[in-house]
Structure 1
């Protein structure tokens, strides 16, 4: 059969696109390698839970505090008011999303994408079947590339898709202890320390009976396994049983173009939609899958190739300003330990805490308190120009 859309990759982005298209009555298939678990802290905000109907059984922990830790080991505990940050385990969350897409009517194929071919009969997505090892192909009208930060679909089809910058993320899932002096099963710890990561951060995130401990860096010489071992040692978690270890690239910025002007549109990490500064990706991946599905449906209805551009336009209309602010923050504060120290100091400010988490929980910048924004801007400038000590708030 010929499909309306074939989705390559079925993480949160691809599975969301496949489900949305199937529910809207389109014939859709998705190809997934299966068996791969992406390294991920697993944090999801309330807006994701509501917008994508995530059941409570997928939430393995509910976090009510975020701890920011500076290079000098000073810390700031930020309470999460009016809700919680949900934690998911990608080992179970991704299969849940794939199963839901399949239940909605999407056809599932397990294998590894190889290439896209075109002839008078249409567009053909070629892949190697996981079970048989045979080369297979699916005929389709459109392709959604949701196959990760080093997307082969993007490399083959979309201008700029072969040069997206990324950091390497690595984490270890461990059996978590009961609450200790350094570990709290209801708290996310974010470690800003050049000895752990010279250009990003480390994390310790609770996953119920387990925990994710990891870090990321663009610097190739960084020993990510040793940095993670140091994180574990500092939190008294070295002796906890290691369940699994995972590593993967995380893109640093959205691509300037998400479609090939013909029959391919990108989504999720393949399009570069991971938030700067925080590295948050699950919410933006699922939104990316949704707007890619919207663009594909529009193209199928109208026949206009230009409608594929809707994916990037819809995403940027809502999230461009947030990405711009987070990118500026990363460029300003992640370049040295002295800057990281100042950033954690800035987090003592109650207005910074409230505005940061209101924006995180609702996925938009808060504009209701102009005086708070002004005060934060002045403090931010004072720190960046060294007019105040990083030990002051």
Structure 2
């Protein structure tokens, strides 16, 4: 009997095929690296599906993946006062994660990455110290079987509760979450009294979410309606049921239901100093306050790919730390400010009421959309920033009326 063959060796094994993992796999494969993309089957993350123009351009997303184009947002206060925030001359693209993520994985495969379906089990090392990724996969006869692959580098892009992070990165214990739940429903027709297929609704009401927000995000023929909370024991399903009834969306067909933890803050370290680096939700890169994750996941996936490429070229494990450094250099200020916003404005209905009132301001609306669409803080309008600063002080001190 011949001895069992040793597992194939890859330059990089990427665990998780969401936007972060698929982007990293695509970038590395297209630069000539031998890449394995390992992804679980049938997993769709609950997500509003919004992608800004910066993402569409930067990651070359084709128009056919956009199931809707949003031209405004409506912010709704606890007392049901609403503020419309139109996008001046632009739009936010909406995608269905079921099809969007698969397209990203297929693009990575077209670029040269090898795709396999499986669930990560553990990381061990061979006698030379090379990482060996073990995973479970389904055989042709339907039975689960063990498989493994050797890797010069590993990217853990396997979600907020990352098995790779828990095994390889001590800082994974820092992770804090909002738990999100949504239902994908059939979109109502144009005669609906409240629903607008070109508008996202964001509802700040403690009864529906004591520390986050609820949403209605149109996806063309379907719509995502959901909520989130970090409070253990809070009934997300009950909240969405109540929300659907209040929004007159309770009689529409429910296509699927999904729930998952959403990180609140980037981890303080993303690599193990040897051969593993994290990306996407596994590294904690979901924007506080807004919960936006697709752009930051893909940006984090690209940063991880760049770091791994440098590591493969130089052999210097310190290169892996550049993933977090480059990401936070570009986006850290936005995460800091949004974190402050969430910690202050989302703590009571009185504060939520004032937060929505601030959104009536045209300066706030313009700078909010500029920052969201371009993914950076806007510094070109200092007078607007000064005006917003004093308006925020007025609201924080109660000198401004919420109405």
TM-score band w.r.t. shorter chain: over 0.9
Deviation at 1:83, TM superposition (A): 1.1
Partner of 2:79: 72
Measured in 1, the distance between the counterparts of 2:302 and 2:279 equals: 8
Partner of 2:161: 150
For residue 172 of structure 2, give the secondary structure of its aligned residue in structure 1. Answer: coil
CA-to-aligned-CA distance 1:30-61 (integer Å, 9 cap, x gap): 11001111100000000000001111110000
Equivalent in 11, 14, 19 of residue 12 of structure 1 = 19
Matches within 5 A, 1:232-251: 232-251=244-263
Partner of 1:114: 121
Deviation at 1:81, TM superposition (A): 1.3
Equivalent in 125, 137, 145 of residue 129 of structure 1 = 137
For residue 142 of structure 1, give the secondary structure of its aligned residue in structure 2. Answer: strand
Measured in 2, the distance between the counterparts of 1:126 and 1:114 equals: 5
Measured in 1, the distance between the counterparts of 2:197 and 2:125 equals: 52
CA-to-aligned-CA distance 1:93-150 (integer Å, 9 cap, x gap): 1111111111111011111101000122421000001344111111110000000000
Contact 1:252 1:274 in 2 (8 A): yes
Is 1:40 paired with 2:52?
no
Is 1:88 paired with 2:95?
yes
Is 1:175 paired with 2:175?
no
Deviation at 1:163, TM superposition (A): 3.5
How many positions carry a matched residue from both structures? 391
Measured in 2, the distance between the counterparts of 1:282 and 1:201 equals: 18
Matches within 5 A, 1:1-393: 1-121=8-128, 122-131=130-139, 132-179=143-190, 180-391=192-403
Measured in 2, the distance between the counterparts of 1:388 and 1:356 equals: 20
CA-to-aligned-CA distance 1:269-318 (integer Å, 9 cap, x gap): 00000000000000000000000000000000001110001100110110
For residue 161 of structure 1, give the secondary structure of its aligned residue in structure 2. Answer: helix
Measured in 1, the distance between the counterparts of 2:255 and 2:150 equals: 40
- Unaligned 5+ segments in structure 2 are 1-7
Measured in 2, the distance between the counterparts of 1:129 and 1:207 equals: 33
Measured in 1, the distance between the counterparts of 2:78 and 2:281 equals: 30
Contact 1:112 1:130 in 2 (8 A): no
CA-to-aligned-CA distance 1:191-225 (integer Å, 9 cap, x gap): 00000000000000000010000010000121000
For residue 368 of structure 1, give the secondary structure of its aligned residue in structure 2. Answer: coil
Measured in 2, the distance between the counterparts of 1:155 and 1:294 equals: 23
CA RMSD of aligned residues (A): 0.8
For residue 6 of structure 1, give the secondary structure of its aligned residue in structure 2. Answer: strand
Measured in 2, the distance between the counterparts of 1:58 and 1:134 equals: 35
Contact 2:174 2:267 in 1 (8 A): no
For residue 173 of structure 2, give the secondary structure of its aligned residue in structure 1. Answer: coil
Measured in 2, the distance between the counterparts of 1:17 and 1:142 equals: 12
- Unaligned 5+ segments in structure 1 are none
For residue 144 of structure 2, give the secondary structure of its aligned residue in structure 1. Answer: coil
Measured in 2, the distance between the counterparts of 1:223 and 1:90 equals: 24
Q: TM-score, normalised by structure 2?
A: 0.96
Contact 1:275 1:323 in 2 (8 A): yes
Deviation at 1:79, TM superposition (A): 0.4
Measured in 2, the distance between the counterparts of 1:273 and 1:322 equals: 11
For residue 387 of structure 1, give the secondary structure of its aligned residue in structure 2. Answer: coil
